[in-house]
Structure 1
């Protein structure tokens, strides 16, 4: 079994070869299927979703953010804080972005909220470089989301479910990856601090995983 670092490096190299047209096509598919997932979770009503802004060759999420906003949903984007903590800012198309002090990402400007704001959320779109059908995820390697997902169970404990190799987060989660980055079950090593994800959102559709 390849290590998380090996999987991450391999997929990043593949992403670096993507063309502008490929990125635009991927962004359109992610927006289409991500909006459908959100609408399913809220039964068509407006809701609140945590998401993130994909940069560089990451799966483009700006079209998804715009689609969610256009459908009346509220969107929370992360801000990296010291000690691998995340805070959250409500985003609109008028929001400004600045370079993060702690990670290679763009962050929204605005009032910051801690994890307690997730009590109002219907679901979470997570960054990833790979997922497998066991629900295991390879993130960006920073550790921010591992800590956030662990803290989430203190805020919303009632929804936590135990699976056959790790606990599911308290809210529905979808990791955003390219189609080829959804791997067979057991491809990704799981560690004690990992939290599994319930779905993979790809340009080709939403895939339900089996954690």
Structure 2
């Protein structure tokens, strides 16, 4: 079995082969299907934790805008020391600044502890690959595994969905699972929403 780093490198290389037109089209489709998923999580306007896709990641700004237009509130992450995340409510006027801990831009605003995510209707999570058992490979920082560990310990973990390109969904058993990993139940791709085979 390939290691996580092997898979991560392979998927990143593949993503670099995508054209700007393919990336833009993926962002539009992800926004459409992601808004559909959000509507299935709550019968009214809710709060969703999202993230800003950067570089060759699936674009999520169209999703963020679409969720906002549908009346939902958006929480975006901020990297903190110790591989922890804080959260800021996003609006169209939110200003972004360069992170001190990761090569990404992050929202300015009042930083809230990760416990605020426990009351969200759902979490859109970054991933470089997911297999059909729900095993997920992130960017390697471990931020989201720590987030989910804390939410699981509190007994208040919202539904999670990983955002990937179509080819990033791998067969069952492709990704080695480690004790600290937290599987996801669903995947959001440009082609649509996919329910995974892993246990509840």
Normalised by the length of structure 1, the TM-score is 0.92
For residues 60-139 of structure 1, the aligned pairs below 5 Å read: 60-139=59-138
1:180 is matched with: 167
Alpha-carbon separation, structure 2, partners of 1:47 and 1:70: 12
Runs of 5+ consecutive residues of structure 1 not aligned to the other structure: 160-169
* Aligned partner of residue 76 in structure 1, secondary structure: strand
Cα drift, residue 138 of structure 1: 0.5
CA positional deviation for 1:203 = 0.4
**Separation (CA, whole Å) in 2 of partners of 1:137 and 1:172:** 15
Poorly superposed stretches of 4+, deviation over 2 Å: none
Shift of 1:137: 0.1
| Shift, 1:7, TM fit | 0.4
Match of 2:117, SS state, is helix
Cα-to-partner distance string for 1:1-32 (whole Å, 9 max, x where unaligned): 11110000000011111111011100001000
Q: Which runs of 5+ in 2 are unaligned?
A: none
1:143: which partner in 2?
142
Partner Cα distance (2:141, 2:32) in 1 = 28
Equivalent residue in structure 2 for 1:192, among 169, 176, 179? 179
What is the RMSD of the two structures over their aligned residues, measured on CA atoms? Answer: 0.8
After TM superposition, give the deviation of residue 105 of structure 1 in Å.
Answer: 1.1
Q: How many residues get paired?
A: 198
TM-score, with normalisation over the residues of structure 2?
0.97
Match in the other structure for 2:158 = 171
1:119 is displaced (CA, Å) by 3.1
